[in-house]
Structure 1
Amino acid sequence: MTDLKKSDTVANSWQTDDIRATNLSVRWQHYLLGLQSLVLVGLDVTMLYASWTISDAIGTPVEGAHVANSMIPILAVSIGTLATGGFYGTDDKLNRFSKLFKSLTIAQVVVLIAAFFYQPGLWVSRSVFLMAWVLNFVLISSARFGFDLLTIQVRKRNPIFQHQVVLLGHQQDIGNVKKLIERSRQFKVDSIIDLGVWDLHTELEQVIQYICSRQVSEVFVCSQDSIDNQIMLLWSLKAAGIHLRMIPSETQLPQRSAETKMIEEIPTSRFKSLPIFGVNFLMKRLFDIVAATLISLILSPILIATAIAVKKTSSGPIFYRQYRVGLKGNRFQVWKFRTMVENASELQKDLEAQNEVKGGVLFKIKEDPRITKIGKFLRKYSIDELPQLINVLQGQMSLVGPRPLPVRDYERSLADMKHFSRDRFLRYEVLPGITGLWQVKGRSSVDSDEIFYWDMVYILQWSLALDLKILLQTIKVVIAKEGSY
């Protein structure tokens, strides 16, 4: 990684031979994206064929009617509908389950109407049709989710697939973006351009010349508000075939995907309301109840063994119940396996000076002397958190959400309103969770600003797909013993 210095530029202005030219890095990206689209088409065709074949085999048969005879039109309609919905584009996430469900439903309706006019009264039974509808969604969404995870892992483990990028902005914002890139391991920073040294208003041509010489695929703008000639920067990069990506700073939290709407000839961006309300909340709640019940049944041997171990190895109760702050600031008692000595709460006052959390709003010590021997093991693998499944079933918590803060931490935040950003209190507008985005992104961090940042990202970006992704990543993080909750 290099920094752009004045000596790195030349006096001649940079020019491109053809406004439609693209550099080698972008061409390579285009080839990979094209290959990805072909793989997705093949994957979807395979899943569609499997779902219809399975449905035809186990559903109610209709004499003289077989799905195999109509498979090509079915596949053509379904793939065409998905393509129209943008599922083979370059900018769409592969696991947009709600939109995928709508697209597959439309495909089923089109197939049904076509079958009615083509072969009225002679096609498949209703049971086959309905099973295929459900299996289409289940198989395709599962395959795409797996492919998405596989693609991310391949990019993380193979530098050749990590896009070379240039970071442009002020040092503090660049530092924040570098942390994000290092965590994702999907990009590789080639060089940085410090706006504290360079003036894009007068030195744009030299900066563009340098960027083009690096043969990078994208430029990450880390300090968007500091660039007053964004149009010229965008046009100059587009002329060189280099993509431009605007990265929100730490104080500008990522918004949900915006819809571009035209008012006369002016494009506007409309942001949808926060998602964890109404029907979405009921869906999340239903998911929590079903998943918490299944997890409790599957892990019951571990829960029983842990309870026995806690009781046998130290004096005191099996469970530790502590008041925490949840939805709308309401207090409730959270369930945990006891991992500390019996008088841990009284001892905390003597340990406040050793608090490692920046700002002191939260309390956390990595080597807490109050933790018992069995408690260290339980915390290492987060087994002590499992009794909070009770809180989930009681409706006080969710499987995924911001961690509920102890009353001590909440009251400190209220007492320090001058230095404590009000937007942090939005975390109390959703159910707290057993695990969350911070637990899988910065689990070992003791920086309260970073903890609250990831909480806000989760609230603004929530979806059932994100909840499922966090749960799967939590398993990986716990097994790898990265930090502690």
Structure 2
Amino acid sequence: MLKKQRVINQLSQFPTDIRASTFTRVRKGDWWRRLITLVTVDTSLLLLAWLLIKLRTNFYTDRNYLFPSLLISISIQIGALAIQGNYAPGNKRHDYWNLIRTLTFAHSLILVAGFLDKSIEGFMPSNLIFFWLTSTAFICFGRLSVNKTLEYLRKRRILACNSVFIICSEEEKEQALSCIQTEQRYSIAGTENSISLDKDHRLETLEKLNKLGVTEVFISLSAIQNRIYLCWLFQTAGITVHLLPMELKPIYRDLVFHNVGGIACLSFISPAITGKDFWLKRIFDFCFACLFLIFTFPIYLAIAIAIKLDSPGSAFYRQTRIGLHGKEFKVWKFRTMRNDAEKMQKELEALNQTKDGILFKIKDDPRVTRIGRFLRRYSLDELPQLFNVVLGEMSLVGPRPLPTRDVNKFSARHLIRQEILPGVTGLWQVSGRSDILDFEQVLNLDLTYIENWSLWLDFQILLKTVSVVLNKEGAY
């Protein structure tokens, strides 16, 4: 129990993305200087290409259209380059074939804009062909020049290299150092062995990296035990993670393949601003929950009256559940059991139908009241949890919050599901609900949700929840 509590305490210090309501952070490193440099160079070269067209032809009959046309054209091209990742860290900035394809697509959009606004004579096909050729050539030449200039400045020690740290076994250290030094764009701040990633040392390691000003960390696959959590840990601190060497199996959705010193590695790029995912999800949850509560208030009132008429006791039931970072909170539900249900549970433990005993499930639970069975069949007993959503204790979609009795039986690897806000519904609920009696299946579904989260996924789960509830699938 002491070891488990220590893990919970460590996890709670590093909230990230959809996993916690923290203030946003800006990624470490000089990425923003490179970004400003590239955008400035690209904008200047595109402006130069535009001016060449002006010198080549009598560009406009009406000079009032010069600035709008210029602004639209350059904005479309810079926007397309940004969307295609041509300003992102790594080698994609110098992927010239991707640059050519992106600028070709951008010019097709400019052509469409010209047809929509026929008064802009500068958007003629003949001018656009010349503009496409010159701007593409200039951008590719500009990227090559920036790349070579950075290499020269780094070799001369005029420009500081990215400060990186290596975590690997003693046997792998020499090879890792050789590969990274080959790149000549990294300054190696130090190395550690795999012990530094153990539960008892990872926070100390992260503090050390922060003091050294490390912006990127290279970790050998053999040194990582819990890959997903460690990637979150470093990304929250604004540190990009590279896994070296590459292993041919899925690890995480947001990764990029890089070549470092001739060896392929997987890079977990730290987002420019962390925590934004949480606030997108939180705003969606709050607005949806408030609107739903307003429009369904009569249903809440009818259910509460039915419960009071069916059996003595309160219409609502509040139970202690374990939420974000292992913190306790009171979850709201409509009461579906007798008042002495918790006392009776000890007597019914022998009838538990789950395989590992972590969850407590009985198909014909004698504690459930008559109206309670109806509410459970259609999951109407869960509706008051929207109050928890409004209060920020829960999300609409996420891992189900479990009682203290269940969480006390967790092993350390199960605790990762406590790193995001618990949900009213989730993949578990739409993939079998109470028919899933193996907690490992539940954990795998929760991990699938965490790794692939998006607002669209939340919306899909909400729609599927409606279908599952109406069909009474896996409910008892």
Structure with more contact order per residue of length (Cα contacts < 8 Å, sep ≥ 6) = 2
Query: Which of structures 1 and 2 has the bigger CA Rg?
Result: 2
Q: TM-score w.r.t. structure 1 length?
A: 0.48
